Amino acid sequence: MTDRSYDVPGLRTQVAIIGAGPAGLALARLLERQGIDSVVLEDRSRDYVEHRIRAGVLERGSVELLEEAGCAERLNKEGLVHTGICLQFAGERHRIDFDELAGASIVVYGQTEVVKDLISARVEPGGPLLFEVSDVALHDLTTSRPRVTFRHGGRNHELECAVVAGCDGSRGVCRGHVAPGVLQSYSRDYPFAWLGILAAVAPSNDELIYAHSNRGFALASMRSPELSRLYLQCRPDEDLATWPDERIWEELQLRLGLPGWELAKGPVLEKGITPMRSLVFEPMQYGRLFLAGDAAHIVPPTGAKGLNLALRDVGLLAEALVDFFIGGTSSSLGSYSERCLRRVWRYEHFSWWMTSMLHLPENANAFEQKLQVAQLRYTTTSSAAARTLAENYVGLAPV
């Protein structure tokens, strides 16, 4: 399938969307379904964004949003519905039952697949989505006619619009166009990272296992009945070259293994290191620029919230843009940032709580480790505490 490249001199649209990750692509689809025009600008290639391995867990709310965007057919066919996860510590493995505690489930379906589905839904009917753009710059954001300039196909282009959606992730450029002194950032860096692998082997457990151990955290996840996704806590400056496959499998077994339970091994298809960071920029809007997803906030992946929070943001933004372009009112656009940030901070807290409970910093003392085990034991034996984890994990906690 060839990507349609557009001759875009003097192009006009209603919404310029910067970034073709889950946030930008889902927003484009939600707007399209309401008859609102947008153009998506992405600086990487289609192949790159479709194969960038990231998140793996969708909240029920995210599945519903993708259904509303008309992109959930394969997800509903291939996604793995899970009604719980396991927490493991001190040689014990306990199940947190989402169905019993929160009356909900999650769906395991790789972010790569979400992105492929959203891109297909966009390009097949000819929706404007330009890959490999460069030099994106935003102009006149505090006027009613903002503009986006960029290079594509060796030519300079200008896109006139009414609104710019900054969906360009943690390393994007949109945030940098907010006037100095407007944005306030709040952050926490963690003294560890995740070394993640994708392996061609059937998952060793039906559900995810989050394991605390005195050697560090490990997570056993999956992508399909034939593909496992696993992570282990490592140093933030870890050198991947010092982790050959056999060392990774050995360490995963030491952290996840239980008497009589062996982790199945197989060919490692991909490995990488993900830094751990909590970061929020406030406000999430400036004039006609609206930030969504990682462009506005980052969470450590322990709570499986990054992708889900990005989709929550664009769900609110799409509703506000329908009010603006179709309803003729701008009040929900005016309160976009404040309404997003309530959920952002709930998800930031939950992600920090899961990360702090499960990861043993290298220089942790025995007292801190005892506190973690006490927290884990309480969370797995008290229905009140377990319900707190369940309702946050499935995305039903009040914000």
Binding site for ligand PHB (CB under 6 A): 55-57, 208, 221, 229, 301-302, 304
| Cα–Cα distance measured from residue 87 to residue 380, given in angstroms and rounded to the nearest whole number | 8
Tokens of 368: 């801190």
The minimum distance between CB 373 and ligand FAS, in angstroms, equals 25
188 binds, among ligand PHB, ligand FAS, none (CB under 5 to 8 A by kind): none
82 catalytic per annotation: yes
229 binds, among ligand PHB, ligand FAS, none (CB under 5 to 8 A by kind): ligand PHB
CA distances from 210 to 131, 172, 213, 382 (A): 37, 31, 10, 18
Cis previous bond, 283, omega within 30: yes
43 is a contact residue toward ligand FAS (CB under 6 A): yes
77 catalytic per annotation: no
The minimum distance between CB 295 and ligand FAS, in angstroms, equals 6
DSSP assignment string, 40-69: EE-SS-HHHHHH-----EEEHHHHHHHHHT
- The one catalytic residue in 109, 210, 231, 336 is 210
Helix or strand or coil: residue 316? helix
| Summary count for the chain: helices (H), strands (E) | 12, 21
Tokens of 46: 């289609």
119 binds, among ligand FAS, ligand PHB, none (CB under 5 to 8 A by kind): none
Report which DSSP code applies to 261: B
The 284-323 site mask, x for binding ligand FAS (CB under 6 A), equals ---------xxx-----x--xxxx--x-------------
167 is a contact residue toward ligand FAS (CB under 6 A): yes
| Among the listed residues 18, 161, 193, 291, the single contact to ligand FAS using CB under 6 A | 18
* Inter-residue contact 348 to 190 (CB < 8 Å): no
The minimum distance between CB 364 and ligand PHB, in angstroms, equals 21
20 is a contact residue toward ligand FAS (CB under 6 A): yes
267 catalytic per annotation: no
Give the residue with the Cβ less far from ligand FAS, 51 or 370.
51
- Residue 245's φ and ψ, nearest 5 degrees, are -50, -45
Matching residue, tokens 């039952």: 97
177 binds, among ligand FAS, ligand PHB, none (CB under 5 to 8 A by kind): none
The minimum distance between CB 48 and ligand FAS, in angstroms, equals 7
Amino acid present at 280: V
Instruction: Give me the active site residues, please.
Output: 82, 210, 301, 305, 393
